[in-house]
Amino acid sequence: MALWDKVKAELVDIIEWTDDSRDTMVWRFPRYQNEIKYGAKLTVRESQVAVFVSQGTIADVFQPGMYSLTTKNLPVLTTLKGWYYGFDSPFKAEVYFINTKNFTDLKWGTKNPVMLRDPEFGPVRMRSFGTYVMKVKDPATFIREIVGTDAHFTVDEIADQLRSMISSRFADILAESRIPVLDLASNYKDLSSFITQRLTSEFMAYGLELTLLVIENISLPPDVEEALDKRSSMGIIGDLNKYTQFQSANAMEKAAANPGGDASAGIGMGMGFAMANQMGKVLQPEAARPSAPDSPPPLPGQATAFFVALGGEQKGPFSPKIIHEMIKDKAIKPDTLMWKKGFESWVKAADMPELKDIFDSVPPPIPG
């Protein structure tokens, strides 16, 4: 087999790569002892880049096109080998073809729930997943940092690392954004753009470019989603009393359409009376139901109302606080007539039990 490889290498003078796979990122051109003849034809197709490596050092990089390998189009390799005046054929070099197309529909997602503090629901856990698109931006850096001497490098060999990077940055950005859970769906596009920008430098460290990131879904745990669905249902139902009346009326209609059933007539009648009693309570008109007072009862200590005889006319009712102010302003004097609920007749203000202490504490007039 080694002899055949050597013979084949002497016959073949075209270096090219036609890729039938959808996940190959790097492919090394196979040659017996890496020998390439002088004047060999190099064909680099669109969405490809060819990289020559000599003795572990990256030399020349060829963009799409057709080349005849001479000292003129191998400047770096010529310098490394000292081929200023030509070189012997064949020469040794490894040729790596880099696929520079966009690799699409790559999956990412959070392995564990992300803990967040939502302004409406409090602490919540969320998961997210989506897709992303990437391509090789700097072939030399990609070979140097990731591929190494791998002769056939595929997307699967780096997908786990990229997925972990995206998930980690997504958790950080989502926590920093402080976007409420109910508003996340309307911010998928902005979050995707922001995450793409944040990951640009990290992808470039591997010689890659993150061209697109899509957030497909951000979900809550099943129990939380179930509770949220119930809350939404209550909002749609609206008035719970009217909804209960409607449901009860439907239940009575179904019961009337299926009288008796397998139960005896006596049991059926008892159940009918019980249902009628319950339905009567539910369907009772709102006007007949006891209603709560429109205003709260008076505070303790403020229920007493006083009436005062001023200028021969009845004034009031006044609260104790107002009465105290009127006493201070001399509008009510000790001999002013007053009345409150429970008294049979008008009495002097000084004789009112609630006001006696107030009048006792008022000093007499200053002499002269």
- CATH assignment of the domain containing 161: 3.30.479.30
Q: φ and ψ at 351, to 5 degrees? A: -90, -5
Is 283 a member of any domain?
no
Is 121 within a domain?
yes
**Is the domain of 131 the same as that of 77?**
no
- Number of independent structural domains in the chain: 3
Does residue 113 share a domain with residue 94?
Answer: no
Q: What is the pLDDT along the chain (368 residues), one digit of tens a residue?
A: 454 454 444 444 788 999 888 899 999 998 777 778 878 889 999 999 999 888 788 888 899 999 888 767 676 776 766 666 566 667 788 899 999 999 999 999 988 888 888 877 788 888 889 999 999 999 999 999 999 889 999 999 999 999 999 988 888 888 787 888 878 878 888 888 888 998 999 999 999 999 999 998 888 877 776 776 666 666 666 566 666 766 676 776 676 677 655 544 444 544 555 555 555 554 555 545 555 555 455 555 555 788 999 888 888 888 888 888 888 888 888 889 999 888 888 988 888 888 877 777 666 667 76
pTM of structure: 0.57
Same domain, 114 and 208: yes
7 plus 88 within the same structural domain: yes
Of 99, 127, 150, the position where a domain reaches its end is 99
Answer yes or no: do 136 and 84 share one domain.
no
Q: Which domain holds residue 207?
A: 103-221
- Amino acid present at 261: G
Query: Do 107 and 79 fall within a single domain?
Result: no
